[in-house]
Amino acid sequence: MAEITTIARPYAKAAFEFALESSELDKWAEMLSFSAQIVQDSQIASIIESERPTTVVEVIASVCQEQLSEQGLNLIKLMAENERLEALPEVLTLYLEFKADHDREITAEIVSASELNAQQLEQITASLEQRLERKVKLDCSVDPSIVAGFIIRAGDLVIDSSVQGQLAKLADTLQA
């Protein structure tokens, strides 16, 4: 995983910087998303593995047609020539991280024992936005095994106010 991220990072950074300069952040996100889906297709993946880079670019260009700008196609050509098209989904992931950081956004994962109502979600969002100084998007899920409360993960921040988490802390304290 680390290796593919290392391969993808310079491509993602270059795409992000170009998109930022040309004020096309959303357009590039769409192009990279579409291209990543194309290279993950089993038929296209077999072509990528077995054909010359020029053939691969021709196939992808014919499939993508209007979805790719000239610069987007140039990125595909460069990645094909360097035999790095398998890293395109990771390029998308990194690009979206760069974009979220630029837009000062973060996604917070909330796992709760029961479904949270709209008022609770608004309060959590407001508190996180104030604490993190970013716009927060919530990704909510329910896990009854945490008994009560919730666990929030946003970047490096983890807030565990679940009964399961409190019991684990208590057990650690008693054992120490």
Which residue ranges form the domains of the chain, and what is each CATH number? Answer: 2-101 (1.10.520.20), 105-175 (3.40.30)
The reported pLDDT for the residue numbered 2 is 58
* pLDDT score at 53: 67
pLDDT at res. 149: 85
Q: How far apart are CA 100 and CA 12, in angstroms?
A: 13
Q: What is the pLDDT of residue 126?
A: 92
pLDDT of residue 85: 83
pLDDT confidence of residue 90: 93
Mean pLDDT (10-residue bins), the chain, 176 residues: 82 91 90 87 74 72 79 86 87 90 87 89 90 88 86 86 82 84
Query: Is the pTM here over 0.75, yes or no?
Result: no
